[in-house]
Amino acid sequence: MTSLPQSPGQKRLGLVIDLDTCVGCHACATNCKEWNTSGHSAPLTDLNAYQAEQRGVWFNRVFTYEAGGQGDNARTVHFPKNCLHCEFPACVTVCPTGASYKRAEDGIVLVNADICIGCKLCSWACSYGAREYDEDQGVMKKCTLCIDKIYNENLPEADRVPACVATCPAKARHFGDFADPDSHVSRLTRERGGFDLMPETGYQPTSKYLPPRPGAKPLSAAEVKLPTPEGKRDSAGKFLRWVDAVLSR
Amino acid sequence: MASEPAIDLSPDVHDEVKYTTCYMCACRCGIRVHLKDGLVRYIEGNPDHPINKGVLCGKGSSGIMQHYSPARLKKPLKRVGPRGEAKFEEIEWDEALEIAAKWLGDIRKTDPKKLAFFTGRDQSQSLTGWWAAQYGTPNFAAHGGFCSVNMAAAGLYTIGGSFWEFGEPDWDRAKYFMIFGVAEDHDSNPIKTGMGKLKARGSKIVSVNPVRTGYSAIADEWVGIRPGTDGLFVMALIHELLNADKVDLDYLIRYTNMPWLVIQDEGAADHGLFARDADGNPLCYDKTSKKLANAKLPEVAPAMVGEFKLKDGRKAVPAFQILAERYMDPQYSPDAVAKTCGLKAADIRRIAAELARVAFEETIELDVEWTDWAGRKHDKIVGRPVAMHAMRGISAHTNGFHTCRAIHTLQVLLGSVECPGGFRFKPPFPKPIPPGQKPAGKTYAPNTPLPGMPLGFTTGPEDLLLETDGTPVRIDKAYSWEAPIASHGLMHMVITNAWKGDPYKIDTLVMYMANMSWNSTMNTKGVMEMLTDKDPATGEYKIPHIIYSDAYFSEMVAYADLILPDTTYLERWDCISLLDRPICEADGPADAIRQPVVEPDRDVRGFQTVLLDLGVRLGLPGVTNADGTAKYPGGYADYIVNHERTPGIGPLAGFRGKDGDKIGRGEVNPNQLQAYIDNGAFWSHHLEPNQRFYKFANKDYLDFAVHMGFIGHADQIVLQIYSEPMQKFRLAAEGHGANQPPEHMRERLKASFDPLPIWYMPYEEELVDRDAYPLHALTQRPMIMYHSWGSQNAWLRQILGRNKLYMSTVKAKEMGIADGDWVRVTSHNGAIKVQVKTMEGVNPDTVWTWNAIGKRSGAWNLAPDAPEAKKGFLLNHLISELLPPREGRRYSNSDPITGQASWFDLRVRIEKVEPGEEVSQPQFPAIDRPVGLEPAPTVNRFNAGGHAKKGAKAK
């Protein structure tokens, strides 16, 4: 068993993912893959990359669901899924070797591959399915929140954000510190009704999802129509305004 | 427990960062490529680039795997086995180029049109088209004819530009956005970013599409229309707006030809044309002077309705009157069209009401002083914040040209083109309507360049490319009576026509980046047979020589006689030119380059450089000096800098002049490429605030456009809702004029060449037994694939490695089909066997699948049993390049005006079948990996980080 930090740090870093805006383009997934396959947990191995049963290690996966009814009443929602860097991550406490750990400083959950024995207990413990076992290397891997990017002094400051956030074309992903109530992510969460994924787990995920906006529901076909201006037509049915108008170019 | 391990928070990410342009689709975003230990470490969006402003999509972010694909060709190949088997020997470049020069040289001396040169997803069409002209063949086109020529042509003939590369929604100001039938793999990042902005502001998004995926999924309203009926839906919106007098009359008077008088003299040779004065100016009826007047004068107050007498005593009416009478007719009422469109009339009425409310009650005003074309100053810019975007779902129908014109007509009636919040042109657009360049090819001769570019814009029967006996000049029959306004050619007809020898036989087919034996063709199986068919008399292939350039082992490679291997996009020079398909923004022109960020590790060459080399071997005038030496010995990079199309205007508009301080027009700058590299591989210019709107009538913009060479003169560009060129073709069909169509085409031409948008049932739907083929079948483009390129990619094929046939849950239940069942899908052209997936978000009369996921077994260096080959499939087998017979003749499956390939007119029936071994049908023999390619690895441990994880254990 592995303990969580005694006293939480000053920062609680995480993501806000906007389900209203995500178009399901997978940019977060592949940009994450290209950063991280040469990053902290390199490589993100692919098996059968050019054969049948192709599969590999991904820290970010996008799922698409239809929900809410039939035909026009249903909605299509794109749901990007990655580690939520929980406050009480069972994937850490279940780890028999201490390989899985939550950083005291910023709350990021990482795997120390040097002491990971590949027992997969953490992946059983994670209700979100965010753990990724590298079959080739026999170790568990997971989202690092791009820890080798967000603090990297070799990169310009503007680039020190997770790859998935920097690349998202629809700006459906946001990165920041949830410990700061004035941070962009804290404000978005408050203003847009950000929610915890499956709060019943008690893991208290740090990262939040924003729900689709109410306006985004299919609208009812109310009998709204344009009024026809009466009494303003000539005998041919054309409008007198068109006949009388003296508009110059 | 252990304390936290020390980790390196600041590893060296790169040794070097290079800027170039993405090519993972046609969007052409700016990218920063991080290089580490000679490997590509990371590709990200360039934050300064006008297209993507730092973001990068799922495809662009997978560029590393495209660059290192095991399907990359390595060396020139010469066919040694029968066509279709990929039996090649490797040869040196010199031999390859000599073979090509021999084939092409022989026919250039005798009959240059025996070369058909068709490029696919070519981003260098201003070079390839120019090269074809220098060679002297009229038989050139890129892939526009089977992609979206209906959009391009309809826009250019109506408002002077079209969607995507020609213009964009005003993402920052629009309050209502309608998006019609958009492929999710094109214009990738700007649409996603734009929709994100609209949503953040609470603007309403309405998506008109039979399928609810991607963009439609996040729309506020999904209009799940029946395929091919969008035009009717739009005309019903126009009906509602006209009936409620919710049209922008001021805008129509100032900026459009709606006040121009149209001659009403049924049976006369000029019936339906504009009445003109002695100088050729169109006339209007001026209410101030109560006389006929030059309609282009700024001071006239033209009548919009009424009947007026011309000098010769004949009658004429304003074009607006014709438009109003047409669309106010009850046949276009929401109630009349709803059933055909598969929509509710109340929804159509409501959407019309919403459009009117936003356009006329939520007007935007910008306090910017601007000067109109006539020199009059205005103190503000008024915007009607309704924006629209449309693409392939509109264009890939036989009624697509008219449907696209209908959408433009709707935009113009609302006054929402080129205003704040509306649809805005990107320079160099708008262009004169239509652009002045005519297609060359009326004359051609051995060893002689064409007098102009092969592709252009016809404005009447006199511009058609016909021999004296009336047969088409071009192998694809573009600019013949079968496709009079075929501005992009008809690539989908080239192989069929060449195989048949109709209108004539060719000798050599040269293609570039066009997978014409697989996903890029209609009737795939039939075309494969045509490519391998031999003339029994001679034993030679019916298409004698095929030269193909591609970077990868695509399905087409197996069918070529000579392979010229291209580089990957990270190994090449390119220019994203204003002379070609530009990447500008509404706020200003931009262009860009690709530079080699890594050197090829194979014996491959950029196709453009190869083409220039071949041109020198052939002695083409444009590419050789008087003494026969190469004009551009440094290859494509040399051409990009030193070629001038007209004096001072070359492929790149930025950093011109000796000192690099001129834009648009200026002498050659020998250091131009370095200037681009120093600027992040692109150039952009921002228009002044007073130049940014109403570009077609904005003096400061028009003067700038003349300076830049975008347009020839600064006259107002009057929007042409009523299209006179259309009427000219129709008059010919009615028997007027010297250029006459064949008898059997008259009725079709009369019906389709209407000067105002019309709707008619798509031809395949009209001609097949609709009870026997009750469903529509379509493809959609996944956001993570670009045509067939994506599924060779180790990462992207994990996201989507096979396709299914998607259909409505309700319809499936009705038919006794369950999710996961296997079905036979039959069209008039054949049958396929595929697996079904049911869903809610699809029009119930429609089935669909993802485009180009299905692969031929063995191609792209994928394992022969890869799911792309065994489970995936192409709908292409069902789509014929020929329509079902009409009065005994089979016409091309194309729009009758532009020749646009009508992929989405397909009608099918489906029947449940036994799953058997659960393999899709048809299957073809696996193609062997060609010589030189290594087997693809089974484990991909790509890591350019230089610090493989410590303690990694292999299992």
User: What pLDDT is stored for residue A244 in this prediction?
Assistant: 86
Q: What pLDDT digit, counting tens, does each position of B686-713 carry?
A: 999 999 999 999 999 999 999 999 999 9
Contacts of B869 in chain A (CB under 8 A): none
pLDDT over threshold 80, residue A1: no
Q: What pLDDT digit, counting tens, does each position of B846-904 carry?
A: 999 999 999 999 999 999 999 999 999 999 999 999 999 999 999 999 999 999 999 99
pLDDT over threshold 80, residue A222: no
Tell me the three-class secondary structure of B335-404, residue by residue.
HHHHHHHCCCHHHHHHHHHHHHHHHHHCCEEECCCEEECCCCEECCEEECCEEEEECHHHHCCCCHHHHH
Query: What mean pLDDT is reported for chain B?
Result: 96
Q: What pLDDT digit, counting tens, does each position of B784-823 carry?
A: 999 888 889 999 999 999 999 999 999 999 999 999 999 9
> Which of B940, B943, B947, B950 is best to mutate for the A interface (most A CBs within 10 A)?
B940
pLDDT over threshold 50, residue B949: no
User: Which residue in chain A is spatially nearest to B224 when comparing CA positions?
Assistant: A72
Confidence of residue A236 (pLDDT cuts 50, 70, 90): confident
Q: CA neighbours within 13 Å on the CB side: how many for B435?
A: 21
Q: What pLDDT digit, counting tens, does each position of B721-734 carry?
A: 999 999 999 999 99
Q: Give the gap in angstroms from C-alpha B4 to the nearest C-alpha of chain A.
A: 7
User: What pLDDT is stored for residue B948 in this prediction?
Assistant: 46
- Whether the full predicted model's pTM is greater than 0.80, yes or no, is yes
Contacts of B221 in chain A (CB under 8 A): 218-219
CB pair distance less than 8 Å for A249 and B948: no
User: What pLDDT is stored for residue B186 in this prediction?
Assistant: 75
CATH number among 3.30.70.360, 3.30.70.20, 3.40.109.10, 3.40.50.300, domain A13-216: 3.30.70.20
Residue that is written with structure tokens 């239809």 in the block: A66
pLDDT over threshold 90, residue B132: yes
Confidence of residue B1 (pLDDT cuts 50, 70, 90): very low
Q: Is B685 on the interface with A (CB under 8 A)?
A: no
Helices (H) and strands (E) in chain B, counts: 25, 35
Give SS3 for B42. strand
Q: Give the gap in angstroms from C-alpha B366 to the nearest C-alpha of chain A.
A: 21
Q: What pLDDT digit, counting tens, does each position of A179-219 carry?
A: 999 999 999 999 999 999 999 999 999 999 999 887 644 45
User: What pLDDT is stored for residue A225 in this prediction?
Assistant: 80
CA dihedral in degrees (B834, B835, B837, B843; nearest 10)?
Answer: 20
User: Which residue in chain B is spatially nearest to A221 when comparing CA positions?
Assistant: B347
Of A45, A20, A117, A129, give the one whose Cα is nearest residue A83: A129
CB pair distance less than 8 Å for A46 and B11: no
Residue that is written with structure tokens 């049932």 in the block: B761
Give SS3 for A228. coil
CB pair distance less than 8 Å for B58 and A30: yes
Q: Give the gap in angstroms from C-alpha B439 to the nearest C-alpha of chain A.
A: 34
Among the partner-chain residues B192, B866, B950, the one whose CB lies closest to the CB of A114 is B950
Among the partner-chain residues A55, A154, A242, the one whose CB lies closest to the CB of B249 is A242
User: Which residue in chain B is spatially nearest to A60 when comparing CA positions?
Assistant: B799
Give SS3 for B210. coil
Confidence of residue A231 (pLDDT cuts 50, 70, 90): low
CA-CA-CA-CA torsion sign (A76, A82, A88, A91)? positive
| Mean pLDDT of the B487-494 span | 97
Q: What pLDDT digit, counting tens, does each position of B153-201 carry?
A: 999 999 999 998 899 999 999 999 999 998 787 778 999 999 999 999 9
Q: Give the gap in angstroms from C-alpha B644 to the nearest C-alpha of chain A.
A: 37
Distances in Å between the alpha carbon of B18 and those of B31, B68, B599, B604? 8, 18, 13, 21
Confidence of residue B36 (pLDDT cuts 50, 70, 90): very high
Q: Is B864 on the interface with A (CB under 8 A)?
A: no
User: Which residue in chain B is spatially nearest to A47 when comparing CA positions?
Assistant: B939
Residues 296-335, chain B: which have Cβ within 8 Å of A?
297-302, 304-306, 320-321, 324-325, 328
Distances in Å between the alpha carbon of B298 and those of A193, B293, B416, B549? 55, 11, 21, 53
User: What is the percentage of chain B residues whose pLDDT exceeds 90?
Assistant: 96
The residues near A163 (Cβ < 8 Å, ≥ 6 apart) are A28, A31, A32, A34, A35, A36, A146, A149, B44
pLDDT over threshold 50, residue A18: yes
CB pair distance less than 8 Å for B245 and A241: yes
Model ipTM value: 0.96
Residues 67-126, chain B: which have Cβ within 8 Å of A?
70
User: Which residue in chain B is spatially nearest to A52 when comparing CA positions?
Assistant: B866
Max CA separation in chain B (angstroms): 102
Q: Is B847 on the interface with A (CB under 8 A)?
A: no
The residues near B937 (Cβ < 8 Å, ≥ 6 apart) are A49, A50, B70
Q: What pLDDT digit, counting tens, does each position of A84-108 carry?
A: 999 999 999 999 999 999 999 999 9
Q: How many C-beta atoms lie closer than 10 Å to residue B168's C-beta?
A: 21
Token duo for residue B545? 């020589």
Residue that is written with structure tokens 């389900």 in the block: A19
User: Which residue in chain A is spatially nearest to B223 when comparing CA positions?
Assistant: A72
Among the partner-chain residues A31, A136, A147, the one whose CB lies closest to the CB of B61 is A31
pLDDT over threshold 80, residue B234: yes
Measured CA to CA, the distance from residue B445 to residue B473 in angstroms comes to 12
Q: Which of B142-146, B265-269, B441-445, B456-460 has the lowest mean pLDDT?
A: B142-146
| Mean pLDDT of the B221-229 span | 96
CB pair distance less than 8 Å for A166 and B299: no
User: What pLDDT is stored for residue A152 in this prediction?
Assistant: 98
* CATH of segment(s) B763-913: 2.40.40.20
Q: What pLDDT digit, counting tens, does each position of B359-405 carry?
A: 999 999 999 999 999 999 999 999 999 999 999 999 999 999 999 99
Of A54, A34, A50, A45, give the one whose Cα is nearest residue B933: A50
Residues 705-744, chain B: which have Cβ within 8 Å of A?
none
Q: Give the gap in angstroms from C-alpha A201 to the nearest C-alpha of chain B.
A: 24
Q: Give the gap in angstroms from C-alpha B362 to the nearest C-alpha of chain A.
A: 16
User: What pLDDT is stored for residue B165 in this prediction?
Assistant: 84
Measured CA to CA, the distance from residue B490 to residue B476 in angstroms comes to 5
CB pair distance less than 8 Å for B188 and A172: no
Q: How many C-beta atoms lie closer than 10 Å to residue B816's C-beta?
A: 9
User: What pLDDT is stored for residue A187 in this prediction?
Assistant: 98
User: What pLDDT is stored for residue B413 in this prediction?
Assistant: 98
Token duo for residue B131? 């090269």
Using omega within 30 degrees of 0 as the cis cutoff, is the peptide bond preceding B430 cis? yes
Measured CA to CA, the distance from residue B881 to residue B494 in angstroms comes to 10
CATH number among 1.25.40.420, 3.40.228.10, 3.90.550.10, 2.40.30.10, domain B153-431: 3.40.228.10
Indicate where chain B has its CATH 2.40.40.20 domain(s).
763-913
Helices (H) and strands (E) in chain A, counts: 7, 11
Q: What pLDDT digit, counting tens, does each position of B239-274 carry?
A: 999 999 999 999 999 999 999 999 999 999 999 999
Indicate where chain B has its CATH 3.40.228.10 domain(s).
153-431
